[in-house]
Amino acid sequence: MAASAAFAASLLAPRAQAEPVLTEDGLYREPWFVESLLELPDDLASAAKAGKRFAIMWELRGCPYCRETHLVNFARPDIADYVKTNFDVIQLNIIGSRNVTDFDGSEMSEKALAGKYGVRFTPTFQFFPEAVTGLDSKPPEKREVARLPGYLMPDDFLAMFRYVREKGYETKSFRDYVKGVRS
């Protein structure tokens, strides 16, 4: 009887979220982030094949808002569950030296890629279309469907991921989308 009561209690207890890990390069990393070979066309195609959207999270060692994104926003089960169910996210370091292959086939360091895309703040999330087709011929500033530069409070943060997943960017700005959600 005691064993079944303990089991029932465990079902009602809040689920434990996997904690982000502080890596050697000083960035927090979610256990569900994609382990990438840093070939963006392949990463996007893999996400699409899994029925997910593709996003890049840009970070920097010591960034207090990057830390807040991991320890506050992603700590909320509703946010973490929504993002990991609907998105493949890779993490890049805005001053990093790992080689990344961009959608146009060019290979460069994370730092150079950040410069190419005009990523200047951390955290920054870049969201890309559902398919890689045609991205190689577009200029970098036309490849994203949405961008989240800087920190957003948890509810607005989740709204941004919903905005991208629901393709809200096709008909309205993020600001108008959030207004519609709140009314």
Quote the CATH superfamily of domain 17-182. Answer: Glutaredoxin (3.40.30.10)
Helices and strands (DSSP H and E) totals, the chain: 7, 8
CA distance 122 to 125: 9
Locate 113 and state its tokens: 């890629």
182 CB neighbour count, 10 Å cutoff: 9
Phi, psi dihedrals of residue 90, rounded to the nearest 5°: -110, 155
Cβ atoms within 10 A of the Cβ of 123, count? 25
Across the range 155-181, mean pLDDT stands at 95
State the average pLDDT for the chain. Answer: 91
Arithmetic mean of pLDDT, 113-141: 97
Q: What's the rounded Cα separation, in Å, for the pair 149 and 173?
A: 15
Distances (CA, A) of 73 to 31, 117, 148: 15, 25, 14
pLDDT tens track for 88-104 = 999 999 999 999 999 99
Domain ranges of the chain: 17-182
Q: What is the pLDDT of residue 7?
A: 41
Q: Tell me: the pLDDT tens digits for 44-91?
A: 999 999 999 999 999 999 999 999 999 999 999 999 999 999 999 999
What pTM was estimated for this model as a whole? 0.88
Cα–Cα–Cα angle for 109, 112, 117, rounded to 5 degrees: 125
